[in-house]
Amino acid sequence: MDPALAWLLLGLGLISQVGGWLSINYALGHLPATRVSVSLLGQVLVTALIAVPVFGEIPSAIQLVGAVLVVGGIVIVLQARARPMSAS
């Protein structure tokens, strides 16, 4: 393998990993952990959306159904956490 390519791949890996790690830690310092952890489920959706223009990948029907379920789950959890629980 060409050494320049190896350094490029290493740099890309480190930047994406360190950048993601720093972003998550920043969010954990400013938001509740439950909100951050549930929101991280959206990473898959963002990745799929980026793959459409970059790689020309079109999601299948089952993937779109899964995306709707994931977004619905995130919305339900975040709305439930926003409302105080009633004493019953």
**pLDDT for 31-83, tens place per residue?**
999 889 998 999 999 999 999 999 999 999 999 999 999 999 999 988 886 66
- Contact assessment for residue 63 and residue 49, using Cβ atoms and an 8 Å cutoff: no
User: Is residue 16 over pLDDT 90?
Assistant: no
Report if pTM > 0.85: no
Q: How confident is the model at residue 1 (pLDDT cuts 50, 70, 90)?
A: confident
Alpha helices in 1-88 (DSSP H): 3-30, 33-39, 43-55, 61-82
